[in-house]
Structure 1
Amino acid sequence: MRGPYDTGRFADVPDTYFDNIDSAGGVARVVDQMLADLQANPDAWENYTLESFLDALSRVLDATPQYYANRGQPMPDQPTWEELAQTLLGATGYE
């Protein structure tokens, strides 16, 4: 159990899982790793309930244009499979 000022973490997914994701299968592999991490560390994530995960996912998606603007990059017209996987991972630890 976390204390009143403790926060959780992002799911532990090795960076290598994001190398060359070019299909739904690559995203599924990342999601499988996210699930394994959640099952092994159920209270470690910042957003470990479906409700908090979906809320964070919505906020991550809403913040995407600002993310690109802060990096001085144009917002892509079509996201890639890798960007989808990164967004899903981001929702696990978004505060």
Structure 2
Amino acid sequence: MHEEIIKIKNKQDFLSFLNMFIKDFKNNKDSWGNSTVDTFLEGMESWIDDMEGYYINMNLPVPENIDWKVFADILYASKMYE
């Protein structure tokens, strides 16, 4: 799945990845360490807190200018959007 993340350049690419991500969860739920909404969100929180270290350790550029408000809008809207 990591190969697909590298390919993301636009909204459609992200939607394709998200679709594959959902299918992976449905088909491989037992392999997910965070298989409930609360543990998934806690994992997300922890990773975001430590994410600079991931990029540094992988010799990748640390992302800058992330629009955190849009990401928060996506999460919040997903709470009720069908």
TM-score normalised by structure 1 residue count: 0.55
Aligned to 2:28: 41
Aligned to 2:38: 51
Structure 2 gaps of 5+ residues are: 67-82
Structure 1 residue 52, shift from structure 2 partner:
0.8
Structure 1 gaps of 5+ residues are: 1-12, 80-95
TM-score normalised by structure 2 residue count: 0.62
Mark the CA change 1:44 to 1:70 in structure 2 (over 3 Å): closer, same or farther.
closer
Aligned to 1:32: 19
Q: Alignment partner of 1:46: what SS?
A: coil
Instruction: Say which structure is richer in helix.
Output: 2
Structure 1 residue 67, shift from structure 2 partner:
2.2
Aligned to 2:74: none
What is the CA–CA distance in structure 2 between the aligned matches of 1:14 and 1:73, rounded to whole Å?
14
Per-residue CA shift, 1:36-90, capped at 9, x if unaligned?
A: 11111222211111111111011111111222343566533235xxxxxxxxxxx
Report the count of equivalent residues. Answer: 66
Structure with more contact order per residue of length (Cα contacts < 8 Å, sep ≥ 6): 1
Aligned to 1:88: none
What is the identity, as a one-letter code, of the residue corresponding to 1:53?
Answer: F
